[in-house]
Structure 1
Amino acid sequence: MSMLANILGFSLFGLAARFGQLGIQKRNLFENLGGHALAMGVFGYGGYMAYKWDQTASVLIAKKKDEIAESRKLRLAKVEALEARLMAENEEH
């Protein structure tokens, strides 16, 4: 998902939350437009932070997958070496 779509989606959710808040209070929806802009800005910033966290998390996950793959290769090499040594010992006896 692109950053712009994420920010806009969260901003629209903030606007909907503001409308819901005013609806519950039975106040005029278009009375204070600064409150709408503030809600949209705060939620938009939340969307930006969510996007940044998603990017950081994907890098961390890829790094961890590489570490796990390398660990598995090393473990497999150790097991194969041990297996070869045991087979050699069995052939001697």
Structure 2
Amino acid sequence: MIILSLKHSEGTKPCFWRPDDAGYTTIPWSAGIYKKDHVEANPKYYNNGYDTLAVEFSNEGLESIGFRCSMDLKKVKELSRQVKIQRGKDEEVSNG
């Protein structure tokens, strides 16, 4: 499980606990993974509904809090185009 800090989240920007109760991150993949029995042993600290929520670290768990990881296809296509142009220039220099 990962711990969502309601206290440190800002609006729609979630904030998760890092490993070993040490700091915070907005990136769920950088959050600490807490065992379910550890969380359940101290629910007032890890899952009290006021300051903290324990969330399964899975797509379903993240989606349960409305967290989605998506990309802007227009931006991806533009970046891809820029990379292709740069690679073409690099190949011209190496062949030139």
Above 0.5 in TM-score? Answer: no
Q: Write 1 or 2 for the structure with the bigger share of strand.
A: 2
The TM-score normalised by the length of structure 2 is 0.28
Greater helix share, structure number: 1
Greater gyration radius: 1
In the superposition, the TM-score normalised over structure 1's length comes to 0.29
